[in-house]
Amino acid sequence: MPTGTVKFFLEQKGYGFILDDDTNEEIFVHVSGLIDKVNPEDKVSFEVIEDKRGKKANEVKKI
């Protein structure tokens, strides 16, 4: 399962981005993909899923 760091998460808008540790790629994350509440700089694990808009993080949880 990939790991990364929460770059930012706008709680009032319900989305943010995670910086993938392996690829340095920014992965979109929506509140619906969270298991744990996240804050900037939190270390997380996640799975990457593809939808019509591109890659997004799912099953995001703090590590």
Per-residue confidence (pLDDT) for residue 51, from 0 to 100? 86
Per-residue confidence (pLDDT) for residue 22, from 0 to 100? 96
Query: What pTM value is reported for the model?
Result: 0.92
The third-level CATH classification (topology) of the domain covering 3-62 is: OB fold (Dihydrolipoamide Acetyltransferase, E2P) (2.40.50)
Phi, psi for residue 52 in degrees, rounded to 5: -65, -20
**For the chain, which residues make up each domain, given as ranges?**
3-62
How far, in Å, CA of 52 to CA of 63, rounded? 29
- The torsion angle over the Cα atoms of residues 45, 26, 9 and 44, rounded to 10 degrees, is 10
Cβ(26)–Cβ(18) under 8 Å? yes
Per-residue confidence (pLDDT) for residue 4, from 0 to 100? 98
pLDDT tens-place string over residues 8-61 = 999 999 999 999 999 999 999 999 999 999 999 999 999 999 989 899 999 999
Per-residue confidence (pLDDT) for residue 7, from 0 to 100? 98
Residue 4 one-letter amino acid: G
Per-residue confidence (pLDDT) for residue 49, from 0 to 100? 96
Cβ(55)–Cβ(48) under 8 Å? yes
